[in-house]
Structure 1
Amino acid sequence: MRDLQNPQIGIVGAGAMGQGIAQIAAVAGLKVRLMDMDPAASSRAIAAIDSMLQKLATKGKLTPAQAQEALGRISSEDSVRALADCDLVIEAVVEKLEVKRSLFAQLEEVVRDDTVLVSNTSSLSITAIAAGCRHPERVAGYHFFNPVPLMKVVEVVRGLRSGEATIDWLATLATRLGHTAVRCRDMPGFIVNHAGRALNTEGLRIVQEGVTDESTVDAIVREQLGFRMGPFELLDLTGLDVSHPVMESIYRQFYDEPRFRPSPITAIRLAGGMLGRKSGSGFYEYDGATRVSDRTAAPAKAAWQPSAVWVSARHPQETQQVLSFLEESNVEVETGREPSDDALIIVTPLGHDATTCAISEGLEPDRVIAVDTLLGLHSGLRRVIMPTPATRPSILERAQTLFAIDGTPVSTIRDSGGFVGQRIVASIVNTACEIAQQRIATPQDIDAAVRLGLGYPLGPLAFGDSVGAKRIVTVLEGLIDVYGDPRYRPGVWLARRAALGISLNVVD
């Protein structure tokens, strides 16, 4: 009978994931049988675990005795039969459905009927893996993230025939292992890989459109949106040999859903072997693990010379942010309903481009500059501006000087719907809302999974609440106006809660 309190865990696959899972289970006081058909792989894994435990002891996170005891709980096995008396077996082998199905069939021949069998798959259907099993109710997904000891989240995936008791027990065990369990049903990408599509695919779309370059997108995502890494830094870290197939897989599994459309940019780079850090060349160049800097010093900005500034009142909330910034900077603003003949004209689009603003408001496009106000214009938070194709160079220079008046960095991009930040934030929030609408996971688990699994500054639904659901919908509708692309259509979860003025975390 399964030991619910102190289960013995079998792990099949001694690669990075199997090694990490073995380590946290042993540290949690559980006995682990690490099995790999290659004895050398098991030996390397146990040696690596020993090294990591010693480092934890050196840092004071474990005592030397605790480190030694944890290592002693791990045994190396080379046969599936050695896992016969395990209470839980975790599969962490190659991502091929036929391989996993074959393994689960072998396991069912040797383990007890109450042994729980789980897969650490990140992309394959749990229902499909369990389809050939005699007891599919004891089969589930248990998706950890690499490196397992540091990424404190695990997706507990319920296949169509997974038993609720199995899911509940796995979620409880995750807490014992020091991880947060997020529950989801079996759908392509589960939570994290599903929600994570928006950042990368929209970043690629922006560059493909010629709005700006990769390093500028990354700088905006880090220094305006507050993310640890931009999409191209993240793609280089993961490697296009991993990221591009996942993008294509999820796109196809959702039957060519436009929100997940991949980019030929990554397909071409993958074909050329420019994978990222692991190949020494990706969107950036690398010397070993160190990125070779491609940044140049920003040119010195001239001091602001008093001149006429006029601000559009089309979006009152956005307008007020610009007016507050100008007031704090001691810059006078024209108060007339129309700008004077030489005024710098500032517009604050949500989803639209500078050209659309100029034409729809009857403004002279050669003097129009758009500024992104979605997250405010606070000092130190990178600011983003864009001219129309007709804006005079002298006007653009005035705007660059104005918005850098307090030393805050300014990025200038080409005219586009939704700037960079608006497009990425709106896409992230909208995708997460679709996950909630489809009941793949609860809003709370969506936010926890993305925050812990992807390192976002906020969960996507909390991010949407902080910006305002109505503003997110306005951005998406503006993007639809500019591009006519269904990838930007607001989902019903988002649209309804925006219309009702309630939190995106409210479940109906």
Structure 2
Amino acid sequence: MTAVDPSSPEGPETPGAGDTVGVVGTGTMGQGIAQVALVAGHTVRLYDAAPGMAEAAAEAIAARLARLVDKGRMSAADRESALARLRPAAELAEFADAVLVVEAVREDLAVKQELFGALEEVVAPDCLLATNTSSLSVTAIGGALRQPGRFVGLHFFNPAPLLPLVEVVSGFATDVTSATRAYELARAWGKTPVACADTPGFIVNRIARPFYAEAFAVYEGQGADPATIDAVLRESGGFRMGAFELTDLIGQDVNESVTRSVWHSFFHDVKFTPSLAQQRLVESGRLGRKTGQGWYGYGEDAEQPEPHTAEPADPPAHLVVEGDLGPAAGLLGLIKAAGIPVREEEEDHGTRLVLPGGGQLALADGQTSVEFRDVVYFDLAFDYRSATRIALSASQDTSPRTVAEAVGLFQALGKKVSLLGDVPGMIVARTVARLIDLAHDAVAKGVATEEDIDTAMRLGVNYPAGPFAWSRTLGRTWAHSLLDDLHMRDTSGRYAPSLALYRHAYASENRESAP
């Protein structure tokens, strides 16, 4: 990983206000990046190979700035000053005085390599060259350059003017000074930069894959419908959106393409395998909001499906809590506050509650309900106090009384309850465990630091917590234990804990057992 050293950059200074920034490609991302540079005080030149597109993009940016003025977020004088610095370019030769050129053209390696080869003939030797690619290798794009050391990835998130995160990606040949200049530039533009190595998906698109993959796997396994899975991720997991509604917003074709690109780049690693159900959705042309139909319908008359919510049930008369509730410890206070008598027993049975009928209620741990007599699993919640929905999992062998008592318990705590099929690891728990696993693996392989990964996942995809913050809250061995249980039941390797996560959990056990 090429380091970023903001404390003592060497070589050319970081581009400042007034310097010329070139943007090639005038689609949504190109316009957004140009707007960010413009508002930061730069002269911005826009170029697009298609005639008239640069002029149209300049008009679109002007219209967006006018809306900012209308909303009181920008003064009219600042808008006029910005527009005076915005110049469509007829040819790449107009970038001769640029201190930075950012490319945002289509995701085609040959096209990008050809473009940067042409730019290298025009710009000054100290001009930074950057790609906004989200799926291609920064190393490969810059590999054809005579000076690959000045080439870097600047991956903005859409919409670029609003979202704060920028991934500063160092290719194999990127100089530390170039990465540092790009990092400082992003920070000067009011963004939150994170440094990462050139790895498939960088930080966010690499580590976020389980958020989509596990939701789709539960659906494909007939564990629950999309509306229920989304509701559980939002109302129990604390995620801003569920996987199905989010991919409808992103575009099924776009999301599936990124997943497939990461999978191919990791030589078909089973941990990144695309979803067959999503592939079928793309093949049918149901791409989400932009086509009016994806997992959900978006026409005027489209009915939005409701998540499965259990009918009211009576709360249990009492409970026995055996052992330490671990990540679900917050439930104990809620149960007592609801007026349900609780007897606590200090037995090492993990997270388990015994219901009046003799059935058991346990936090999802990667095992299935069918393996044990009369057990209901409940899913992980980001915060059990604020969670408004809890998912339960039971098998055909779980007694109706146990299911009813489990449903009634959580309803007594003010939660809606969604009953799933026999889904090992449930929804939130297995998703979070896999996020934690990929994050540890990324750090161990030099992709990024723990701090930058947590920052990227919070700001890039609005997770309620970063994977390492989650890991600290849940306990060092929690994710490894759950994934190990899942791996015993699915030996494909999809859930096999990484060596990094194993070391993390094992080191913790050694420290705890040391005298």
Residue in 1 that maps onto 2:305: 294
Q: Take 1:310 and 1:344, find their aligned partners in 2: how far apart are those partners?
A: 11
Name the counterpart of 1:329.
338
Q: What residue number does 2:457 align with?
A: 450
Q: Would you say the 8 A contact 1:159–1:186 is kept in 2? A: yes
> Helix, strand or coil for the counterpart of 2:413?
coil
Determine if contact 1:353/1:419 at 8 Å carries over to the other structure: no
Partner SS for 2:146: coil
Q: How much has 1:298 moved relative to structure 2?
A: 4.9
Contact preservation (8 Å) 2:327, 2:474: no
Whether 1:398 and 2:405 are equivalent positions in the alignment is yes
Q: Is 1:345 matched with 2:354?
A: no
Closer/same/farther in 2, CA of residues 10 and 310 from structure 1, 3 Å limit: same
* Aligned residue number for residue 475 of structure 1: 482
Cα gap change, 1:329 to 1:344, in 2 (>3 Å): farther
In structure 2, C-alpha distance between the alignment counterparts of 1:133 and 1:389, rounded to whole Å: 62
- Residue 322 of structure 1 and its aligned partner are, at CA, apart by 5.3
- Of stretches 488-497 and 432-441 in structure 1, the one that deviates more from structure 2 is 488-497
Shift in Å, 1:156: 1.1
Relative to structure 1, is the Cα distance of residues 411 and 87 closer, same or farther in structure 2, using a 3 angstrom cutoff? same
Task: Give the one of 179, 196, 199 matched to 2:191.
Answer: 179
Q: Which residue of 1 aligns with 2:393?
A: 386
Tell me whether 1:276 sits opposite 2:288 in the alignment: yes
Letter aligned with residue 248 of structure 1: R
Separation in structure 1 between the aligned mates of residue 354 and residue 106 of structure 2, nearest angstrom: 64
| Partner residue, 1:43 | 55
Report the equivalent of 1:505.
none
CA 1:403–1:176 in 2, change beyond 3 Å: closer, same or farther? same
The alpha-carbon distance between structure 1 residues 332 and 420, as it changes in their structure 2 partners (threshold 3 A), is same
Looking at structure 2, the residues matched to 77 and 319 of structure 1 have their Cα atoms a distance apart, in angstroms, of 59
Residue 355 in 1 paired to residue 355 in 2? no
Give the counterpart of 1:258 among 270, 273, 295. 270
Instruction: Give the superposition deviation at 1:345.
Output: 2.9
Is 1:133–2:145 an aligned residue pair?
yes
- Mean alpha-carbon deviation: is it higher for 66-75 or for 52-61? 52-61
Matches of 1:341 and 1:402 in 2, distance apart?
A: 11
Q: Quote the offset at 1:396 in angstroms.
A: 1.9
Q: Distance in 2 between matches of 1:67 and 1:265?
A: 47
Which runs of structure 2 are paired with 1:72-87 in the superposition (5 Å)?
Answer: 72-87=84-99
Residues 1:187 and 1:393: Cα distance change in structure 2 (over 3 Å): same
> TM-score of the superposition, structure 1-length normalised?
0.90
2:437 to 430, 444, 450: 430
2:237–2:380 CA contact under 8 A, matched in 1: no
User: Are the structure 2 counterparts of residues 48 and 56 from structure 1 closer, same or farther at C-alpha, using a change threshold of 3 Å?
Assistant: same
SS in 2 for 1:157: strand
1:410 paired residue number: 417
Taking the aligned partners of 1:308 and 1:29, their CA distance within structure 2 comes to: 66
Task: Give the equivalent residue in structure 1 for 2:250.
Answer: 238
Q: Flag structure 1 segments of 5+ consecutive residues without an equivalent.
A: 359-364, 503-508
**In the alignment, what sits opposite 1:226?**
238
The within-5 A match list for 1:372-383 is: 372-373=379-380, 375=382, 377-378=384-385, 380-383=387-390
Other-structure match for 2:6 = none
Q: With the length of structure 2 as denominator, give the TM-score of the two structures.
A: 0.89
- 1 CA distance for matches of 2:197 and 2:103? 19
Q: Secondary structure at the match of 2:454?
A: helix
Structure-2 change in CA distance of 1:159 and 1:239 (3 Å) = same
Partner Cα separation in structure 2 for residue 41 and residue 348 of structure 1:
55
- For residue 5 of structure 1, what is the aligned residue in structure 2? 16
Q: Secondary structure at the match of 1:281?
A: coil
Q: What CA distance in whole angstroms lies between the structure 2 residues aligned with 1:318 and 1:117?
A: 47
Q: How far does residue 341 in structure 1 lie from its aligned partner after superposition?
A: 8.9
Shift of 1:308: 6.1
CA distance in 2, matches of 1:57, 1:488: 51
Structure 2 vs 1, CA of residues 298 and 131 (structure 1 numbering), >3 Å: closer, same or farther? closer
SS of the residue 1:66 aligns to: helix
Task: Tell me how far apart the structure 2 counterparts of residues 251 and 162 of structure 1 sit (CA, whole Å).
Answer: 25
Q: Give the distance between the partners of 1:211 and 1:296, measured in 2 at CA.
A: 13
What percentage of residue pairs aligned between the two structures are identical?
A: 35
Assess, with a 3 A threshold, how the Cα gap between structure 1 residues 244 and 296 changes in structure 2: closer, same or farther. closer
| Aligned counterparts of 2:33 and 2:203: Cα–Cα separation in 1 | 20
SS of residue paired to 1:110:
coil
CA RMSD of aligned residues (A): 2.5
Of 484-493 and 12-21, deviating more is: 484-493
Give the length in aligned residue pairs. 491
5 Å-filtered alignment, 1:188-203, equals 188-203=200-215
Return the offset for 1:11: 0.8
The one-letter amino acid paired with 1:58 is D
- What SS does the aligned partner of 1:286 have? coil
Partner of 2:513 in structure 1?
none
Q: What is the DSSP-based 3-state SS (H/G/I as helix, E as strand, rest coil) of the residue aligned with 1:14? A: coil
